[in-house]
Structure formats: structure tokens, C-alpha cells
Amino acid sequence: MACLLETPIRMSVLSEVTASSRHYVDRLFDPDPQKVLQGVIDMKNAVIGNNKQKANLIVLGAVPRLLYLLQQETSSTELKTECAVVLGSLAMGTENNVKSLLDCHIIPALLQGLLSPDLKFIEACLRCLRTIFTSPVTPEELLYTDATVIPHLMALLSRSRYTQEYICQIFSHCCKGPDHQTILFNHGAVQNIAHLLTSLSYKVRMQALKCFSVLAFENPQVSMTLVNVLVDGELLPQIFVKMLQRDKPIEMQLTSAKCLTYMCRAGAIRTDDNCIVLKTLPCLVRMCSKERLLEERVEGAETLAYLIEPDVELQRIASITDHLIAMLADYFKYPSSVSAITDIKRLDHDLKHAHELRQAAFKLYASLGANDEDIRKKIIETENMMDRIVTGLSESSVKVRLAAVRCLHSLSRSVQQLRTSFQDHAVWKPLMKVLQNAPDEILVVASSMLCNLLLEFSPSKEPILESGAVELLCGLTQSENPALRVNGIWALMHIDKIMSTHGKQIMQAVTLILEGEHNIEVKEQTLCILANIADGTTAKELIMTNDDILQKIKYYMGHSHVKLQLAAMFCISNLIWNEEEGSQERQDKLRDMGIVDILHKLSQSPDTNLCDKAKTALQQYLA
Amino acid sequence: MGIGLSAQGVNMNRLPGWDKHSYGYHGDDGHSFCSSGTGQPYGPTFTTGDVIGCCVNLINNTCFYTKNGHSLGIAFTDLPPNLYPTVGLQTPGEVVDANFGQHPFVFDIEDYMREWRTKIQAQIDRFPIGDREGEWQTMIQKMVSSYLVHHGYCATAEAFARSTDQTVLEELASIKNRQRIQKLVLAGRMGEAIETTQQLYPSLLERNPNLLFTLKVRQFIEMVNGTDSEVRCLGGRSPKSQDSYPVSPRPFSSPSMSPSHGLNIHNLASGKGSTAHFSGFESCSNGIISNKAHQSYCHSKHQSSNLNVPELNSINMSRSQQVNNFTSNDVDMETDHYSNGVGETSSNGFLNGSSKHDHEMEDCDTEMEVDSSQLRRQLCGGSQAAIERMIHFGRELQAMSEQLRRECGKNTANKKMLKDAFSLLAYSDPWNSPVGNQLDPIQREPVCSALNSAILVSRSQRKAAIVNLSLLGPRNPQSAKATSSCPSNGTGHTMSRTDGSIWNWILCIRHSGRLPTLAMHFKSSHYIVAFSQHGSRPALQI
């Protein structure tokens, strides 16, 4: 504590700290390199675990000097290493610290340091980079700006267990989206990291595992590669299965379950593969149990929801596994009344996770009830379930609201529930509220749910229409978002006499979609809408007088995609159907347009469905 | 169809779950029945072709089911011990295939067990250790020492005390005295045992009239058997049964068996024996020195088939782990014993007890060739004088019983004991009578241990060895904790010079850190059935 001896005895505590901090910085400028080194070492010891000291040193300009010393050719490797250690320590502090470091361009300096031959220095740089890149304030793009960085990092993977741990951690934090995945994949990430899964170091194994989970997410290319990778004679999926054994640390079980889930969703593993049905799924259900930490339960439920979303068999298995549906009801009990009274810390913790837990539960319920009527019934019969969903619809958190709407949407596929529970709980009221000024992602789900509530047999139909749904839906048909436009028209279709009142708007929306650059599914839906419209007299009028639309239908009859051809055929069939009023004129007009020729051509189609439809249509002309 | 568990004696004509001490999961409604006619919604329904598993966790006494390999969640909690797997069939023509582990299970039970081992291991690792580092070491040494002293392994106790710098609380002479008495009891020489006790520990039996009564009843039984010294000296041949110390299912329970064998063998030498007796002998000596791999093997089987002997459960598990044998049954066990040839006996030295047994054993080696199958057991060894003595003794016993009742009030246990003993006389061949098991030398053991405990209490020693208490088994986590107190070092090297059994156990806990009963119990109670409802026998699914 030499510095204290030099300070005057009577001093306020604050200035004392600043003065001592200044002394640390001053010593970095000493002409004697040995003294500079000692100064850096002393600084290192002073800042460990002391956020105030860190902030002081940053304010006093220690960072640029440290970076200068770190990059200086003349600095000894020892000094460079100590500088990197101190910078790493500063980065461990608050987010503001990290921002200050970024402002001083620390990342290029540290990346430059990685070119050094000295392993200790490289490890210090990597540790510091790891800390910076794992901070939420650091843009991950910074890792990819220099194209030479990734291959160099890949090469460093072989140097030591520390380089392995830090680099994997950097990758798993900075790999966001398909572009990053592709860059890492193209630089051999899979081969370079795969063998780390059998490392002796738990941390290395864990970080490598995390890398694979981010690499495989929604990425068929990576996932397809992963299933065939061999490590020590074992296929990667088998290694993942071993890592989700019940005696492994929870973090490891959860992460390997994620890897397998992502590979399955990316199409690399079948949904009826034993490693999914008997290993991954039960593991994820266990992650939802009360014994797990709140964070783990959130992650477990979200991953499980993702895994089972497209597969009814997995939904059925999950629904009977370990009383999952009842287990999820517990997610709504935070903060519990007990935690509020007894333990402030616990209350704080519970509150933090309460939203996350609720949205995760809603998501999982939505997946569970996506296809099976019995499961939906079971979910709705869970204690206070409908109340919880209705409450969820008006929560402040967008995430919870979205998940609640999704859940409700999934449950609304049940005719029985639409007529009972949905009516009893007047679900439509909060739903209409959600539809006002909600972000698009919510609107998409909420509007498709509205479609279900507007079905003929739904008792909610009347009150919804009375509360101004038509205007709202017309609004949607003008939306930028094609999915919203489709939902808007679709919902409108269910309303009686809508074509006579809002026919123009609907036709306009349909034209817009058919003209735009949309995916096949959206267009197919739209053509089906058109076919449905072509079922009523007013609507047929509207179509027949709209040459633009007729040309579009003709075009889609000759489209390369069978689905679209079929949908267009539907429209034509409805328009030329014999027994209906005015069918003769419509037939004539369509013949003039060359539709009959197309029908003849299609009746020779190799697709039997299309061929049958065309023949039936031609018969209408013969009759 | 109902699949579940029930205790012994539950009505077998009703589906499991409906009656008291019975638990079931029913296929028609998917409900679980917890000793009640009304079910709780539990899981899915099941039907032809499904594979249903039932797993009892003996650590937390819960049960869960699986359907086609998927866990359905906990069905029952707070289950009582000793439940049997049960399947109830209602529909005519139903067929069930049961799998007790002979085929791999659909559900990954190994993985489940791994989780529990890790849990228990963590519990052991986290168990708070006292402030002073060495405390556990001392405690475990005390435990072992007290076990050795209690059971009279004086040589081992002495060696152990020397190598661990402990003092044996009881002087050697006293241990030897107790050992002498135990030998007499186990040899069936009750009269001498009572006399010696009265000599060495005057007033002990006066203060314990019930114990004295028990001893005397046993003496009466031994008279009938022809083993008691009072009838033996009256002539008559040693009957067969006295030698046939049976295949003991409790190899560790009474270490002082070893000397008693010496005596048995001695009798045999004069009275002729059969090879079968030697097999019994063999097994007992195993109990003391398990220095042969195959011997300890047959022991482990032994133990696993005897879970109902409470104080031995702990030891049972230790062995089951080593052997990893879960299909144990009595047949296996016995064949193993017989295959342990007699020739090996001579190679078994006794560490405990006096050395003179060795040459007696050699004696018997020559005698055993004699075919003794024609020998018939006779009442009191066949001598008329002995029978008269026995009858007379019986009268004395009756009188004593009446006196006891006057002084201490009614005692149903005593009454029943006497009645059972006298019943022996009602049969022409008591050994093959319904009450004949009293003549079985194994019945000497409880008497022996009661007397040993009484002596120790009178000398204010611990009544039961601490180690016995702490080994009561991991039925609950608390006792699992108790066993976790083994020191991490310093035990290994002494092992070879002391009794292998107990050390093995301690070491196995220490090194593997797992509680092996779990594995064994699961193996035997986790079962999976596949069934069809129309009489056709489906291929086994598992």
C-alpha cells in the first residue's frame, strides 16, 4: 500500500480512492518497463472483484494505455499478457465497462494479439474476448468483420483446453442466424469442434455442445452433416444421447436435448427415432419438473414445444409422460404466495422468471394441443386453465400475450371447445382487445384465431361481428403483411353477405396477393378463398366482371405447382357448375377465354386428382 | 386388467388396488387405485399389445408406471415395504407376459437408477462433516471394534485395536467367556451353557427370569433333539440333526458359529454323519472367512434371498452389488453349497476361536466317507433314561412357567414357547412334524444372541454393535447418511487381516459410493407385461 503513504492524511474517502486509482494509471507511464510491469500486476490485484475501482480506472484513461502496451512491439510478452488479463478483468464488471472497452476498439487489438506465438498471451486475449463477446452489449457482427478471424480461431482450437473452451464459448454466443452458421460451417466448425465432445475437461465438452446446438438450429445443412459425424467411432447423435443420461449435469442434459431437437426439426433425425421418442422427449419433460431451476424449466418447456410442434405422435407421448399437463399448471404459480411473505430474494427471483415461465407454458400447451382433440380437452380441464389464458391475453409482456394467443389458437381448433369453454369464458372479448394495435406477430396468430371464432357454428360469431370485427378485418386485408391479408380475407369469408357489402375490398386484397411475390402456401390459400367466394351469386358476379382475376385463375391452372393448379380448378368448377343461375353465360365466357382447352389438357395430366377434377369440369360443359 | 403391488395376504380374487395394502393401475379407465375402490385419474388406458412397467423406488417409497417405455409419473407415495408384483385379470382369456428383467426393459431403468445413484452420491458427498477432520476415522474404527467385540471375534478385535491404537473396552477374558457360552448354545448344549453363565455371571439369569425361561425351553428342545449334555451323557447315539447345522441364510449373524462347528464335528466323529452335513458346515465357515471367490459368491446369493431378516439387509445389499445377481433363489443357493466340496474344508482355517478345531476337522475328513443314510433320529438320542430325564425336565419347566406367571404376570410369548416345545412330544417323529422346525439348529441363534446381549448389558456394554445399527439399510436417506461416515483412507490395508465381510461392505460404500440395494430391488420389482385379451399368446415384447 505504498500509494497510501504518499497521500495526505486528511482526505475524503472518495478522493482517496480516485487518487489511488490515478496512481495506478500513472505507473503505466513509467519509463522503466520493469516498473510498468509491476504497475500492471498491482493494478490487476486491485481491480479483481472491485467494480468501483474498475470504473475509476476506466474514467482515468487506463484502457487506451493498456491497449497501447498490449500492442506495442517493444512490450515483453509477460507485460502484454498482464495487460490482457487486466482488460479481461475490467470487462467482467458492468455493461458500461464493456461499452467503454468497445469504444476503445479493444476487439481488433485483442484479435491481433491472437497472432502471437505465445500461448499464455493468446489464452489471456481469448479469455478477455470471451468476456466481451458474451456481454449483451457487444454486437456479434464484430467477430465476422475480418474474414481471417474465424479460420484463425479454428486453428487455435488445437492449442489448449483453454483456447478450446473460450473459442467455443465465443462461437456459441456469436452464432446468430443462418449467415453466421454458414460461415462457421464453411470453416470446418463441425469437424474442428466434434472431437471436443470427448474432451476430459467438462467445460470444453459443455461449450462444444452449446456450439452444436446453435449451429444446428433451423439449419438442415449443418444438421444433416452432424448425424453422420463420427467421434471415436461413435456417431454424434449417439454421443448426444449419452450426454443426456440422467446422471449427467442438468445443463448438459438440457443442451444435448436441444441439439437432438434441432437436428430433428431440421429433418436430420426422424420424429419416430428412438433417440427422440425414448430419450430426448422424456429428458425435456423432466426438465419441466418442479425439481428443476426456473430457468431450466423455461428452456425445457420451450424446447419441448418446439420438438413436438409438427408431430401428433410426439404430442400424444408428451401428453402422457410424467403428468406433463398438470406439471405445467405449476408454471403459473410464480411468484407464489409463500415466496412473497418469507423471502424477498426469492420473490425477486420468482418475479423475474414469472413471465418467462408463463409464456413457456403457453407455448408448450399450444404445441401439445395442436392436433389432438383429447389432449385439448385435457388441457382445458386443467385447473383454471381458461382463466389463465384469458388473463395472459391482456398481460403487459408481448411475449406472454403472443404465447397466450398461440395457445388459444391451438385450442380453438376444437369445435367442441369453441362451443363450450370458449363461450363460457367469453374469450372473444380479450381477443378483440388484443387485435387493436398489436404488433404484427401477435396479429397473425390472433387473426387466424378470429377466423376460427367466426365459423358458422361458433356462438361467439354474433358478438364479435357486433363489436366491429368487419372493419378490423378489412383493415387487415390492406396490411403490408401477406399473412395478415390472407387471414383477413379468410375471416371475412365466414361472414354472411359479406361480398355484397365488402366485395370490392376483398377482391382487391385477393388480386394484390396473387400478383405479389408470395410463397406457394399463401397463394394456394388465396385461390381457395376465391373458390369459396365463387360459391355465391353476388360473388360470382364480382369475379366474372373482373377480367384481371379471371386471367390470374387461368394462369394458375397452368402453373407448375400442382397445388395451385388444383386450387385454381376449384374456382373454375364453382363458376361453371350447371344447376346454378347464370351458369350458361359463365361457361361461355370462360370458353372464350380458352379455359376449355386448358381443361382438355389437364384431363391428360399424370396427376390423377387434377385429371379427375378436369374431367368433372368438362362434363359440366357437355350437360 | 390391473397391474400393481400388494402385500402378503391380500385377497387374490380382486384387482390390485381395491383392497388394503394393495395398489394398482387399471387398463380400462387408466386410473390408479390406492387401497381403495375408487380410482384417481392417473394415466392413459392400456390394452392388447401395450407394455406396462411398474417400478418401485425403495429409497423414497414411491411407485411409477410406464407405458411402452414412457414414464407416466408417480402413482403412489409412502408405500409400505415388502410388496409383491401383482397382476389382476378380469376378462376371460386374458394373457399376460411378465418380464422381471430376464429380457431388456422397454423403459430405460438403468438410466433411472443412474440418476438415483448420482443423487445419493451427492447426498453422501454433501453430508456435513464435523469440525475435526479425524473424527470420522475414529468413529468408524470404534464401530468396527465394537462389532468385533460384540460378536466375540477376539483375535481380530485385538489385532484391529493394535493397528488402530484403540483400547478394547472389554478385557479379552470376558470376550472369551462370552464366546464359550455362545459356542455351547450353538452346539445345543444348553444345560452347560446355562451353568456356565451362572458361574461366570452370577445373578444375571436371576435378574432375567424370562431369559432363563427361554434358555430352559431351548434346553428342553435340545433334550428332545438329543444334543443337550444332560441327555447325551445318558447314552444314546448322536442323532443326525445335531450335526446338521443347516445352510445358514445368515452368515454373519453369529460369528461364534465357527467354534460350534468344531463341536458338531466332534459329535459327528462318534455318531457318523452324512455329506450333506458338511455342506452345511461349509457354508458356515464361509460366513467367517470368505477367502474364496466362489464361496463369497454363494453367500451373496444367500443373502439376497433373505431380505426379510432385518438386521442383515444392509449386508445383503453390499453383496448383491458385487455379484450383481438378481435372479437369486434357494435352488441356486443350495446347489452351490453342495458343489463346495468337503475337501475344501481343511483349507479353511479359522481366524477366530481356538486352533484345536483344525485337527478335529481333519478327523472328520476321514469320517465323512461313512454312509450314514441308514441312521434314524430317535427321541433324546434313543435312550430310555434320557427320555425320562427329559420328561422330568419338562415337569420342572411347567412348574417354572407357573411360578413365573404368578410372579411376573401372564406372558403370552412364554406360554406359546412352552406349548410349542411340548408339542414336539405329540409326534412319533418330531423332526418331521409341523413343529419340527424348533429342532432346527438355526433356532439356537436367536437364543444365543439374546443371551449375548443380556451379558453385555449386564456388563454395561453396548447391547447391539453400533455397526449393526448403522447398517440397518438405506431404506430412508437418513440411514444412508449414517453409512456415509466411512473414512476415505486408512481402511484398506487392514482389511485383509480381519474379517472380510464387514470390511467389504464398508469399502464398497466408500469406493463406489452407491447403495446397492436399490439396484437389486429394482431388478426384482420392476416388471413389465405384455398381454393379449383373446387368449393368443403374443410374442414377448421386451
Contact: A320, B108; criterion CB under 8 Å: no
Tell me the chain A residues in contact with residue B71 when contact means C-beta distances shorter than 8 Å.
282, 321-322
Point out the least confidently predicted range of A105-114, A613-622, B140-149, B491-500: B491-500
Residue A278 DSSP one-character state: I
Please give the pLDDT value at position A5.
41
For residue A530, pLDDT over 80 is answered with no
Instruction: Give yes or no for a contact between A484 and A440, defined as CB atoms under 8 angstroms apart.
Output: yes
> With an 8 Å Cβ cutoff, is B134 touching chain A?
no
> With an 8 Å Cβ cutoff, is A321 touching chain B?
yes
B9: three-class secondary structure by DSSP? coil
Cis ω before B538 (30° cut-off from 0): no
Local confidence band at A341 (pLDDT 50, 70, 90 cut-offs): low
Round the CA-based radius of gyration of chain B to a whole number and report it.
26
Tell me the chain A residues in contact with residue B67 when contact means C-beta distances shorter than 8 Å.
320
Contact: B117, A247; criterion CB under 8 Å: yes
Nearest to B140 by CA among B389, B485, B370: B485
Report the distance separating Cα B254 and Cα B284, nearest Å: 10
What average pLDDT score do residues A411-436 get? 81
**3-state DSSP of B459-494:** CCCCCCCHHHHHCCCCCCHHHHHHHCCCCCCCCHHH
For residue A371, pLDDT over 80 is answered with yes
Contact: A245, B72; criterion CB under 8 Å: no
For residue A399, pLDDT over 80 is answered with yes
Write the pLDDT tens digit of every residue in A172-223. 999 999 999 999 999 999 999 999 999 999 999 999 999 999 999 999 999 9
Q: To the nearest 5 percent, what fractions of chain A are helix, strand and coil?
A: 75, 0, 25
Local confidence band at A340 (pLDDT 50, 70, 90 cut-offs): low
A338 against B252, higher pLDDT = A338
Neighbours of B348 (CB within 10 A): 20
Residue B247 DSSP one-character state: -
Mean pLDDT of chain A: 87
DSSP character string of A39-101? HHHHHHHHHTT-HHHHHHHHHTTHHHHHHHHHH-TTS-HHHHHHHHHHHHHHHTS-HHHHHHH
Of all residues in chain B, the one with the smallest CA distance to A327 is: B73
Nearest to A354 by CA among A298, A437, A273: A298
Single-letter code of the amino acid located at B236: G
Dihedral over Cα of B133, B134, B135, B137: its sign: positive
ipTM of the complex: 0.79
Instruction: Give yes or no for a contact between B381 and B238, defined as CB atoms under 8 angstroms apart.
Output: yes
Of all residues in chain A, the one with the smallest CA distance to B30 is: A320
What average pLDDT score do residues A358-374 get? 94
Contact: B73, A321; criterion CB under 8 Å: yes
Q: Closest partner residue to B71 among A247, A279, A321, by Cβ?
A: A321
For residue A477, pLDDT over 70 is answered with yes
What average pLDDT score do residues A468-489 get? 80
DSSP character string of A456-483? TT-TTHHHHHHTTHHHHHHHHHT-S-HH
B32: three-class secondary structure by DSSP? strand
For residue A568, pLDDT over 80 is answered with yes
For residue A125, pLDDT over 90 is answered with yes
> With an 8 Å Cβ cutoff, is A345 touching chain B?
no
Contact: A320, B67; criterion CB under 8 Å: yes
Return the ∠ at Cα A379 (arms to A378 and A381), rounded to 5°. 65
- The alpha carbon of A31 is separated from its chain's Cα centroid by a whole number of angstroms, namely 54
> With an 8 Å Cβ cutoff, is B73 touching chain A?
yes
Low-confidence residues in chain B, pLDDT < 70: 129-135, 168-170, 234-376, 460-542
Distance (Å) of CA B421 to CA A391, B392, B415 = 77, 14, 10
Distance (Å) of CA B42 to CA A319, A375, B62, B523 = 12, 14, 14, 24
Which residues have a Cβ under 8 Å from the Cβ of B290 and sit 6 or more positions away? Answer: B296, B299, B500, B501, B504
Report the distance separating Cα A2 and Cα A7, nearest Å: 9
Please give the pLDDT value at position B151.
78
Please name the residue that has the C-alpha cell 431369559: B211
B54: three-class secondary structure by DSSP? strand
Grid cell at residue A501: 357489402
Nearest to B186 by CA among B256, B269, B253: B256
Backbone angles phi, psi at A160, to 5 degrees: -160, 170
Please give the pLDDT value at position A84.
96
Distance (Å) of CA B74 to CA A244, B34, B62, B109, B448 = 21, 12, 7, 15, 45
Write the pLDDT tens digit of every residue in A136-176. 999 999 999 999 999 999 999 999 999 999 999 999 999 99
Round the CA-based radius of gyration of chain A to a whole number and report it.
32
Q: How many helices (H) and strands (E) does chain A have?
A: 42, 2
Local confidence band at A338 (pLDDT 50, 70, 90 cut-offs): low
Report the distance separating Cα B499 and Cα B504, nearest Å: 9
Grid cell at residue B179: 464366546
Please give the pLDDT value at position B516.
28
Instruction: Give yes or no for a contact between B167 and B174, defined as CB atoms under 8 angstroms apart.
Output: no
Instruction: Give yes or no for a contact between A51 and A93, defined as CB atoms under 8 angstroms apart.
Output: yes
Question: How many contacts, defined by CB atoms under 8 Å, are there between A and B?
Answer: 33
Long-range CB pairs of B230-233 (<8 Å, 24+ gap) are B230/B191, B230/B389, B230/B393, B231/B380, B231/B381, B231/B383, B231/B386, B231/B389, B231/B390, B232/B381, B232/B386
Instruction: Give yes or no for a contact between A178 and A138, defined as CB atoms under 8 angstroms apart.
Output: no
Return the ∠ at Cα A603 (arms to A601 and A606), rounded to 5°. 95
Grid cell at residue A443: 396479429
Point out the least confidently predicted range of A230-239, A440-449, B331-340: B331-340
> With an 8 Å Cβ cutoff, is B40 touching chain A?
no
